[in-house]
Chains A and B, each alone.
Chain A
Protein backbone atom coordinates (compact mmCIF):
# COMPACT_ATOMS: atom_id res chain seq x y z
CA UNK A 1 0.00 0.00 0.00
CA UNK A 2 2.89 2.38 0.81
CA UNK A 3 4.46 1.82 -2.61
CA UNK A 4 1.17 2.73 -4.29
CA UNK A 5 1.09 5.93 -2.26
CA UNK A 6 4.66 6.80 -3.23
CA UNK A 7 4.04 6.19 -6.95
CA UNK A 8 0.83 8.21 -6.86
CA UNK A 9 2.65 11.07 -5.16
CA UNK A 10 5.34 11.00 -7.84
CA UNK A 11 2.75 11.01 -10.60
CA UNK A 12 0.86 13.78 -8.80
CA UNK A 13 3.92 15.98 -8.53
CA UNK A 14 4.76 15.68 -12.22
CA UNK A 15 1.17 16.30 -13.30
CA UNK A 16 0.91 19.27 -10.97
CA UNK A 17 3.81 20.86 -12.78
CA UNK A 18 2.36 20.19 -16.22
CA UNK A 19 -1.41 20.58 -15.70
CA UNK A 20 -2.18 22.27 -12.39
CA UNK A 21 -5.94 21.63 -12.56
CA UNK A 22 -7.97 21.73 -9.36
CA UNK A 23 -9.77 18.40 -9.45
CA UNK A 24 -6.45 16.62 -10.05
CA UNK A 25 -5.02 18.00 -6.81
CA UNK A 26 -8.25 17.15 -4.99
CA UNK A 27 -8.16 13.49 -6.02
CA UNK A 28 -4.46 13.19 -5.29
CA UNK A 29 -4.82 14.78 -1.86
CA UNK A 30 -7.71 12.41 -1.22
CA UNK A 31 -5.46 9.48 -2.09
CA UNK A 32 -2.71 10.88 0.14
CA UNK A 33 -5.13 11.21 3.03
CA UNK A 34 -6.46 7.71 2.53
CA UNK A 35 -2.95 6.27 2.46
CA UNK A 36 -2.08 8.19 5.63
CA UNK A 37 -5.27 6.92 7.25
CA UNK A 38 -4.54 3.31 6.25
CA UNK A 39 -1.06 3.54 7.69
CA UNK A 40 -2.33 4.93 10.98
CA UNK A 41 -5.08 2.32 11.09
CA UNK A 42 -2.53 -0.41 10.57
CA UNK A 43 -0.38 0.82 13.46
CA UNK A 44 -3.41 1.21 15.72
CA UNK A 45 -4.65 -2.27 14.88
CA UNK A 46 -1.22 -3.77 15.34
CA UNK A 47 -0.78 -2.39 18.84
CA UNK A 48 -4.35 -2.13 19.96
CA UNK A 49 -6.23 -5.21 18.80
CA UNK A 50 -5.17 -7.63 21.51
CA UNK A 51 -5.68 -5.07 24.32
CA UNK A 52 -9.11 -4.39 22.83
CA UNK A 53 -10.04 -8.07 22.98
CA UNK A 54 -8.79 -8.28 26.55
CA UNK A 55 -10.78 -5.22 27.60
CA UNK A 56 -13.95 -6.53 25.94
CA UNK A 57 -13.42 -9.91 27.58
CA UNK A 58 -12.72 -8.56 31.06
CA UNK A 59 -15.92 -6.54 30.91
CA UNK A 60 -18.16 -9.41 29.84
CA UNK A 61 -20.44 -11.23 32.26
CA UNK A 62 -19.49 -13.00 34.57
CA UNK A 63 -16.58 -10.65 35.22
CA UNK A 64 -13.29 -12.49 35.53
CA UNK A 65 -10.73 -11.43 38.14
CA UNK A 66 -7.60 -9.52 37.17
CA UNK A 67 -5.43 -12.17 38.78
CA UNK A 68 -6.85 -14.75 36.40
CA UNK A 69 -5.36 -12.77 33.57
CA UNK A 70 -1.84 -13.45 34.80
CA UNK A 71 -2.48 -16.81 36.34
CA UNK A 72 -0.55 -19.53 34.49
CA UNK A 73 2.78 -18.70 36.14
CA UNK A 74 4.56 -21.85 35.04
CA UNK A 75 4.30 -20.77 31.42
CA UNK A 76 6.24 -17.62 32.07
CA UNK A 77 9.68 -19.06 32.61
CA UNK A 78 10.25 -20.63 29.15
CA UNK A 79 8.36 -17.72 27.67
CA UNK A 80 10.72 -15.15 29.17
CA UNK A 81 13.71 -17.10 27.91
CA UNK A 82 12.26 -17.23 24.43
CA UNK A 83 11.35 -13.57 24.41
CA UNK A 84 14.82 -12.52 25.55
CA UNK A 85 16.30 -14.63 22.79
CA UNK A 86 13.90 -13.10 20.34
CA UNK A 87 14.75 -9.55 21.29
CA UNK A 88 18.47 -10.19 21.29
CA UNK A 89 18.96 -12.20 18.16
CA UNK A 90 15.88 -12.33 15.94
CA UNK A 91 15.94 -8.82 14.64
CA UNK A 92 19.50 -8.82 13.40
CA UNK A 93 19.71 -12.43 12.21
CA UNK A 94 16.38 -12.47 10.35
CA UNK A 95 17.11 -9.24 8.54
CA UNK A 96 20.57 -10.45 7.51
CA UNK A 97 19.19 -13.71 6.20
CA UNK A 98 16.50 -12.01 4.23
CA UNK A 99 18.73 -9.41 2.63
CA UNK A 100 21.70 -11.57 1.71
CA UNK A 101 20.35 -14.54 -0.17
CA UNK A 102 23.72 -16.00 -1.03
CA UNK A 103 24.85 -15.96 2.56
CA UNK A 104 22.56 -18.91 3.12
CA UNK A 105 24.66 -21.20 0.97
CA UNK A 106 27.83 -20.07 2.73
CA UNK A 107 26.12 -20.69 6.08
CA UNK A 108 25.35 -24.21 4.98
CA UNK A 109 28.91 -24.79 3.84
CA UNK A 110 30.18 -23.65 7.22
CA UNK A 111 28.01 -26.18 8.98
CA UNK A 112 29.33 -29.01 6.76
Chain B
Protein backbone atom coordinates (compact mmCIF):
# COMPACT_ATOMS: atom_id res chain seq x y z
CA UNK B 1 0.00 0.00 0.00
CA UNK B 2 2.93 2.35 0.53
CA UNK B 3 4.18 2.43 -3.04
CA UNK B 4 2.23 4.17 -5.78
CA UNK B 5 -0.05 1.83 -7.72
CA UNK B 6 0.85 0.94 -11.31
CA UNK B 7 -1.13 2.66 -14.03
CA UNK B 8 -2.88 -0.38 -15.42
CA UNK B 9 -4.91 -1.11 -12.23
CA UNK B 10 -8.01 0.67 -11.00
CA UNK B 11 -6.07 3.05 -8.76
CA UNK B 12 -4.35 5.51 -11.02
CA UNK B 13 -3.33 8.03 -8.40
CA UNK B 14 -0.68 8.11 -5.74
CA UNK B 15 -1.78 7.51 -2.19
CA UNK B 16 -2.10 10.99 -0.82
CA UNK B 17 -1.35 10.74 2.88
CA UNK B 18 -2.70 14.18 3.58
CA UNK B 19 -6.03 13.49 2.05
CA UNK B 20 -7.22 10.29 3.69
CA UNK B 21 -10.88 9.59 4.26
CA UNK B 22 -12.40 9.93 7.67
CA UNK B 23 -12.54 6.57 9.40
CA UNK B 24 -15.59 4.77 10.76
CA UNK B 25 -16.32 5.61 14.40
CA UNK B 26 -14.59 3.34 16.88
CA UNK B 27 -17.77 1.76 18.19
CA UNK B 28 -18.97 0.95 14.69
CA UNK B 29 -15.83 -0.87 13.62
CA UNK B 30 -17.53 -4.21 13.52
CA UNK B 31 -20.81 -2.99 12.09
CA UNK B 32 -20.87 -5.07 8.92
CA UNK B 33 -20.04 -8.20 10.86
CA UNK B 34 -22.66 -7.37 13.46
CA UNK B 35 -25.31 -6.94 10.80
CA UNK B 36 -24.82 -10.48 9.57
CA UNK B 37 -23.94 -12.25 12.77
CA UNK B 38 -26.17 -10.55 15.29
CA UNK B 39 -29.64 -10.00 13.94
CA UNK B 40 -32.39 -9.02 16.31
CA UNK B 41 -33.49 -12.53 17.33
CA UNK B 42 -36.56 -12.87 19.52
CA UNK B 43 -38.90 -15.48 20.89
CA UNK B 44 -42.65 -15.43 20.72
CA UNK B 45 -44.89 -13.15 18.77
CA UNK B 46 -43.92 -9.65 17.87
CA UNK B 47 -45.99 -6.94 16.33
CA UNK B 48 -44.51 -3.55 15.47
CA UNK B 49 -46.47 -0.64 14.22
CA UNK B 50 -44.76 2.56 13.15
CA UNK B 51 -46.82 5.60 12.36
CA UNK B 52 -45.06 8.48 10.65
CA UNK B 53 -46.78 11.69 11.57
CA UNK B 54 -44.27 13.76 9.72
CA UNK B 55 -41.04 13.35 7.79
CA UNK B 56 -39.20 13.71 11.06
CA UNK B 57 -41.50 12.49 13.78
CA UNK B 58 -42.90 9.00 14.24
CA UNK B 59 -44.64 7.01 16.93
CA UNK B 60 -44.05 3.36 17.44
CA UNK B 61 -46.23 0.73 19.14
CA UNK B 62 -44.75 -2.65 19.71
CA UNK B 63 -46.25 -5.75 21.31
CA UNK B 64 -44.15 -8.75 22.27
CA UNK B 65 -45.72 -11.86 23.75
CA UNK B 66 -43.56 -14.75 24.60
CA UNK B 67 -41.34 -16.47 27.10
CA UNK B 68 -38.71 -14.31 28.70
CA UNK B 69 -35.64 -15.75 30.33
CA UNK B 70 -35.09 -14.86 33.90
CA UNK B 71 -31.62 -15.07 35.40
CA UNK B 72 -31.30 -18.12 37.58
CA UNK B 73 -28.50 -19.61 39.60
CA UNK B 74 -28.81 -23.08 38.08
CA UNK B 75 -27.52 -23.95 34.62
CA UNK B 76 -31.04 -24.52 33.27
CA UNK B 77 -32.78 -21.65 31.58
CA UNK B 78 -36.04 -20.69 33.20
CA UNK B 79 -38.60 -18.90 31.11
CA UNK B 80 -41.68 -17.06 32.18
CA UNK B 81 -44.32 -16.11 29.65
CA UNK B 82 -44.74 -12.37 29.53
CA UNK B 83 -46.50 -9.84 27.39
CA UNK B 84 -44.97 -6.44 26.86
CA UNK B 85 -46.20 -3.34 25.21
CA UNK B 86 -43.65 -0.77 24.22
CA UNK B 87 -44.45 2.75 23.18
CA UNK B 88 -41.88 4.79 21.40
CA UNK B 89 -41.41 8.19 19.90
CA UNK B 90 -38.69 9.13 17.45
CA UNK B 91 -37.73 12.53 16.22
CA UNK B 92 -35.06 12.66 13.52
CA UNK B 93 -33.97 15.99 12.18
CA UNK B 94 -31.14 14.68 10.07
CA UNK B 95 -28.34 15.39 10.70
CA UNK B 96 -28.67 17.84 13.51
CA UNK B 97 -30.83 16.21 16.15
CA UNK B 98 -32.05 12.74 16.95
CA UNK B 99 -34.35 11.93 19.86
CA UNK B 100 -35.35 8.33 20.37
CA UNK B 101 -37.31 7.04 23.32
CA UNK B 102 -38.98 3.73 24.14
CA UNK B 103 -40.93 2.93 27.26
CA UNK B 104 -42.17 -0.49 28.33
CA UNK B 105 -45.12 -1.48 30.48
CA UNK B 106 -42.82 -2.37 33.37
CA UNK B 107 -41.55 1.17 33.48
CA UNK B 108 -38.23 0.74 31.74
CA UNK B 109 -37.19 3.63 29.56
CA UNK B 110 -34.57 3.50 26.80
CA UNK B 111 -33.62 6.93 25.61
CA UNK B 112 -31.09 8.18 23.09
CA UNK B 113 -30.19 11.70 22.15
CA UNK B 114 -27.76 12.72 19.43
CA UNK B 115 -27.07 16.33 18.73
CA UNK B 116 -24.55 17.94 16.39
CA UNK B 117 -23.28 20.86 18.35
CA UNK B 118 -21.11 21.99 15.48
CA UNK B 119 -19.94 20.50 12.22
CA UNK B 120 -17.31 18.34 13.86
CA UNK B 121 -18.49 17.97 17.42
CA UNK B 122 -21.35 15.65 18.32
CA UNK B 123 -22.97 15.11 21.65
CA UNK B 124 -24.66 11.78 22.32
CA UNK B 125 -26.45 10.54 25.39
CA UNK B 126 -27.92 7.18 26.08
CA UNK B 127 -29.87 5.96 29.11
CA UNK B 128 -31.69 2.86 30.32
CA UNK B 129 -33.77 3.83 33.31
CA UNK B 130 -35.77 1.48 35.47
CA UNK B 131 -37.92 1.77 38.53
CA UNK B 132 -35.65 -0.55 40.45
CA UNK B 133 -32.88 1.17 42.34
CA UNK B 134 -29.29 0.77 41.17
CA UNK B 135 -30.29 -0.78 37.87
CA UNK B 136 -30.27 2.35 35.74
CA UNK B 137 -27.46 3.23 33.38
CA UNK B 138 -26.63 6.42 31.61
CA UNK B 139 -23.82 7.42 29.31
CA UNK B 140 -22.80 10.65 27.68
CA UNK B 141 -20.41 10.83 24.70
CA UNK B 142 -18.63 13.68 23.05
CA UNK B 143 -17.34 12.90 19.56
CA UNK B 144 -14.96 15.03 17.62
CA UNK B 145 -14.42 14.32 13.96
CA UNK B 146 -11.21 15.56 12.45
CA UNK B 147 -10.04 15.38 8.84
CA UNK B 148 -8.81 11.82 9.00
CA UNK B 149 -9.37 10.89 12.61
CA UNK B 150 -12.09 10.65 15.19
CA UNK B 151 -11.93 10.91 18.93
CA UNK B 152 -14.55 10.18 21.51
CA UNK B 153 -14.82 10.88 25.19
CA UNK B 154 -17.35 9.00 27.31
CA UNK B 155 -18.75 9.59 30.73
CA UNK B 156 -21.13 7.18 32.39
CA UNK B 157 -22.72 6.49 35.71
CA UNK B 158 -20.80 4.48 38.21
CA UNK B 159 -17.85 6.78 37.54
CA UNK B 160 -17.22 5.35 34.09
CA UNK B 161 -14.76 7.31 31.97
CA UNK B 162 -13.57 6.34 28.55
CA UNK B 163 -11.80 7.75 25.56
CA UNK B 164 -11.12 6.37 22.12
CA UNK B 165 -9.22 7.49 19.08
CA UNK B 166 -9.17 6.16 15.55
CA UNK B 167 -6.98 7.33 12.69
CA UNK B 168 -6.90 6.53 8.99
CA UNK B 169 -3.39 5.36 8.27
CA UNK B 170 -3.81 4.63 4.59
CA UNK B 171 -6.84 4.79 2.34
CA UNK B 172 -8.05 1.39 3.48
CA UNK B 173 -6.49 0.88 6.88
CA UNK B 174 -7.45 2.59 10.07
CA UNK B 175 -6.04 1.99 13.52
CA UNK B 176 -7.44 3.00 16.84
CA UNK B 177 -7.26 2.60 20.55
CA UNK B 178 -9.40 3.09 23.60
CA UNK B 179 -8.93 3.42 27.32
CA UNK B 180 -11.55 3.32 30.00
CA UNK B 181 -11.84 3.39 33.72
CA UNK B 182 -14.79 2.14 35.73
CA UNK B 183 -14.67 3.66 39.17
CA UNK B 184 -17.41 1.70 40.81
CA UNK B 185 -15.94 -1.69 39.97
CA UNK B 186 -12.36 -0.47 40.19
CA UNK B 187 -11.47 -1.61 36.69
CA UNK B 188 -9.48 -0.06 33.93
CA UNK B 189 -8.92 -1.27 30.43
CA UNK B 190 -7.04 -0.62 27.26
CA UNK B 191 -8.10 -1.71 23.82
CA UNK B 192 -6.63 -1.59 20.32
CA UNK B 193 -8.40 -1.98 17.03
CA UNK B 194 -7.60 -2.16 13.37
CA UNK B 195 -9.85 -2.11 10.36
CA UNK B 196 -8.90 -2.81 6.79
CA UNK B 197 -11.57 -2.37 4.18
CA UNK B 198 -11.68 -2.61 0.45
CA UNK B 199 -14.70 -2.63 -1.83
CA UNK B 200 -15.06 -6.36 -1.59
CA UNK B 201 -14.05 -7.27 1.91
CA UNK B 202 -13.47 -5.89 5.36
CA UNK B 203 -11.23 -7.18 8.08
CA UNK B 204 -11.35 -5.87 11.62
CA UNK B 205 -9.66 -6.90 14.80
CA UNK B 206 -9.98 -5.63 18.30
CA UNK B 207 -8.07 -6.59 21.41
CA UNK B 208 -8.67 -5.39 24.90
CA UNK B 209 -7.25 -5.94 28.29
CA UNK B 210 -9.02 -5.13 31.49
CA UNK B 211 -7.21 -5.04 34.78
CA UNK B 212 -9.21 -5.06 37.93
CA UNK B 213 -8.55 -4.98 41.62
CA UNK B 214 -11.32 -7.45 42.34
CA UNK B 215 -11.98 -10.20 39.85
CA UNK B 216 -15.60 -9.78 38.86
CA UNK B 217 -16.98 -10.17 35.35
CA UNK B 218 -17.85 -6.81 33.93
CA UNK B 219 -20.85 -7.39 31.65
CA UNK B 220 -23.06 -4.36 32.05
CA UNK B 221 -20.42 -1.63 32.11
CA UNK B 222 -19.38 -2.44 28.62
CA UNK B 223 -22.77 -1.60 27.15
CA UNK B 224 -21.58 1.56 25.55
CA UNK B 225 -18.29 0.29 24.18
CA UNK B 226 -17.46 -1.53 21.04
CA UNK B 227 -18.60 -5.07 20.76
CA UNK B 228 -17.51 -6.82 23.87
CA UNK B 229 -20.49 -8.56 25.27
CA UNK B 230 -18.82 -10.75 27.84
CA UNK B 231 -15.44 -9.37 28.67
CA UNK B 232 -13.99 -10.49 31.93
CA UNK B 233 -10.35 -9.89 31.25
CA UNK B 234 -8.40 -9.94 28.06
CA UNK B 235 -10.27 -10.46 24.85
CA UNK B 236 -9.36 -10.49 21.20
CA UNK B 237 -12.00 -10.25 18.52
CA UNK B 238 -11.35 -10.58 14.82
CA UNK B 239 -13.92 -10.45 12.09
CA UNK B 240 -13.91 -10.74 8.34
CA UNK B 241 -16.73 -9.82 6.02
CA UNK B 242 -16.69 -10.64 2.33
CA UNK B 243 -19.18 -9.08 0.00
CA UNK B 244 -19.55 -11.86 -2.52
CA UNK B 245 -22.02 -9.97 -4.65
CA UNK B 246 -24.54 -7.18 -4.24
CA UNK B 247 -27.02 -9.56 -2.74
CA UNK B 248 -24.81 -11.85 -0.69
CA UNK B 249 -22.30 -11.17 1.99
CA UNK B 250 -20.58 -13.62 4.26
CA UNK B 251 -19.07 -12.90 7.63
CA UNK B 252 -16.97 -14.75 10.11
CA UNK B 253 -15.81 -13.86 13.55
CA UNK B 254 -13.41 -15.27 16.08
CA UNK B 255 -13.47 -14.27 19.69
CA UNK B 256 -10.79 -15.44 22.10
CA UNK B 257 -10.81 -14.68 25.76
CA UNK B 258 -7.23 -15.55 26.53
CA UNK B 259 -7.48 -15.43 30.28
CA UNK B 260 -10.55 -17.57 30.69
CA UNK B 261 -9.50 -19.73 27.69
CA UNK B 262 -12.78 -19.31 25.92
CA UNK B 263 -12.85 -19.27 22.14
CA UNK B 264 -15.89 -18.81 19.96
CA UNK B 265 -15.96 -18.88 16.19
CA UNK B 266 -19.01 -18.00 14.19
CA UNK B 267 -19.89 -17.87 10.54
CA UNK B 268 -22.81 -16.06 9.07
CA UNK B 269 -24.41 -15.02 5.86
CA UNK B 270 -26.61 -12.17 4.79
CA UNK B 271 -28.74 -12.43 1.66
CA UNK B 272 -30.41 -9.21 0.63
CA UNK B 273 -32.91 -10.16 -2.03
CA UNK B 274 -35.66 -8.18 -3.64
CA UNK B 275 -38.51 -9.36 -1.45
CA UNK B 276 -36.72 -10.60 1.60
CA UNK B 277 -33.63 -10.43 3.71
CA UNK B 278 -32.28 -13.64 5.17
CA UNK B 279 -29.54 -13.77 7.76
CA UNK B 280 -28.16 -16.81 9.45
CA UNK B 281 -25.25 -17.87 11.53
CA UNK B 282 -23.66 -20.89 13.10
CA UNK B 283 -21.47 -20.87 16.14
CA UNK B 284 -18.85 -23.06 17.66
CA UNK B 285 -20.93 -23.14 20.86
CA UNK B 286 -23.43 -25.30 19.01
CA UNK B 287 -25.82 -22.45 18.35
CA UNK B 288 -27.36 -21.77 14.98
CA UNK B 289 -29.75 -19.00 14.21
CA UNK B 290 -31.66 -17.58 11.29
CA UNK B 291 -33.68 -14.45 10.75
CA UNK B 292 -35.98 -13.78 7.84
CA UNK B 293 -37.70 -10.54 6.93
CA UNK B 294 -40.12 -10.94 4.09
CA UNK B 295 -41.74 -7.98 2.42
CA UNK B 296 -45.35 -8.89 1.85
CA UNK B 297 -46.46 -5.53 0.66
CA UNK B 298 -45.41 -1.91 0.85
CA UNK B 299 -44.84 -1.24 4.51
CA UNK B 300 -45.81 -4.74 5.64
CA UNK B 301 -43.04 -7.10 6.67
CA UNK B 302 -43.29 -10.59 8.01
CA UNK B 303 -40.47 -11.69 10.30
CA UNK B 304 -39.39 -15.14 11.39
CA UNK B 305 -36.65 -15.81 13.88
CA UNK B 306 -35.15 -19.08 15.05
CA UNK B 307 -32.29 -19.79 17.41
CA UNK B 308 -31.26 -23.32 18.30
CA UNK B 309 -28.75 -23.72 21.07
CA UNK B 310 -27.94 -27.40 21.12
CA UNK B 311 -25.47 -27.17 23.95
CA UNK B 312 -27.86 -25.55 26.40
CA UNK B 313 -30.91 -27.27 24.88
CA UNK B 314 -32.61 -23.92 24.42
CA UNK B 315 -34.75 -23.50 21.32
CA UNK B 316 -36.29 -20.21 20.48
CA UNK B 317 -38.72 -19.52 17.69
CA UNK B 318 -40.46 -16.30 16.92
CA UNK B 319 -42.71 -14.81 14.33
CA UNK B 320 -44.11 -11.40 13.82
CA UNK B 321 -45.34 -8.63 11.66
CA UNK B 322 -43.94 -5.15 11.16
CA UNK B 323 -46.29 -2.53 9.85
CA UNK B 324 -45.14 0.87 8.76
CA UNK B 325 -42.02 2.18 7.10
**Chain A contact residues, CB within 8 Å of chain B:** 1-4, 38, 42, 45-46, 49-50, 52-54, 56-58, 60, 62, 64, 68-69, 71-72, 75, 78-79, 82-83, 85-86, 90, 94, 97, 101, 104-105, 108
Residues of A within 8 A of B103 (CB): 50
Distance to closest chain A CB from B130 (angstroms): 9
- Our pick among A1, A50, A83 for the contact of B89 (Cβ within 8 Å) is A50
Asked if A82 and B85 make an inter-chain contact with CB atoms under 8 angstroms apart, the answer reads yes
**Chain B contact residues, CB within 8 Å of chain A:** 49, 51, 53-54, 56-59, 61, 63, 65, 70, 72-74, 78, 80, 83-85, 87-91, 93, 99-101, 103, 105-107, 109, 111, 127, 129, 133-134, 136, 138, 157-158, 184
Residues of A within 8 A of B57 (CB): 56-58, 60, 64
Interchain CA distance A105-B234 in the complex, whole Å? 35
Residues of A within 8 A of B184 (CB): 4
Distance to closest chain A CB from B176 (angstroms): 30
Asked if A104 and B78 make an inter-chain contact with CB atoms under 8 angstroms apart, the answer reads yes
Distance to closest chain B CB from A60 (angstroms): 5
Identity of the chain B residue whose Cβ is nearest the Cβ of A62 in the assembled complex: B54
23 contacts between A and B (CB under 8 A): A1-B134, A42-B129, A42-B136, A49-B101, A49-B111, A50-B88, A53-B89, A53-B91, A53-B99, A53-B101, A54-B89, A56-B99, A57-B56, A58-B57, A60-B93, A64-B57, A68-B51, A72-B51, A72-B61, A86-B83, A86-B84, A90-B105, A97-B80
Asked if B129 and A46 make an inter-chain contact with CB atoms under 8 angstroms apart, the answer reads yes
Interchain CA distance A86-B117 in the complex, whole Å? 40
Distance to closest chain B CB from A12 (angstroms): 18
Given contact pairs A50-B87, A72-B49, A97-B80, enumerate 4 new A-B contacts (beta carbons under 8 Å).
A45-B129, A56-B91, A64-B54, A104-B70
Secondary structure of the A contact surface, majority rule? helix
Distance to closest chain A CB from B236 (angstroms): 33
Distance to closest chain B CB from A101 (angstroms): 6
Interchain CA distance A100-B127 in the complex, whole Å? 28
Asked if A75 and B49 make an inter-chain contact with CB atoms under 8 angstroms apart, the answer reads yes
Asked if B70 and A50 make an inter-chain contact with CB atoms under 8 angstroms apart, the answer reads no
Residues of A within 8 A of B93 (CB): 60
- Our pick among A45, A56, A104 for the contact of B127 (Cβ within 8 Å) is A45
* Among A3, A38, A57, A105, residue most surrounded by chain B Cβ atoms (within 10 Å): A57
Interchain CA distance A108-B79 in the complex, whole Å? 10
Asked if A101 and B72 make an inter-chain contact with CB atoms under 8 angstroms apart, the answer reads yes
- Our pick among B51, B56, B101 for the contact of A50 (Cβ within 8 Å) is B101
Residues of A within 8 A of B54 (CB): 57, 60, 62, 64
Residues of A within 8 A of B59 (CB): 54, 69
Asked if B106 and A94 make an inter-chain contact with CB atoms under 8 angstroms apart, the answer reads yes
Interchain CA distance A90-B106 in the complex, whole Å? 7
Asked if B53 and A68 make an inter-chain contact with CB atoms under 8 angstroms apart, the answer reads yes
Asked if A2 and B89 make an inter-chain contact with CB atoms under 8 angstroms apart, the answer reads no
Residues of B within 8 A of A2 (CB): 133-134
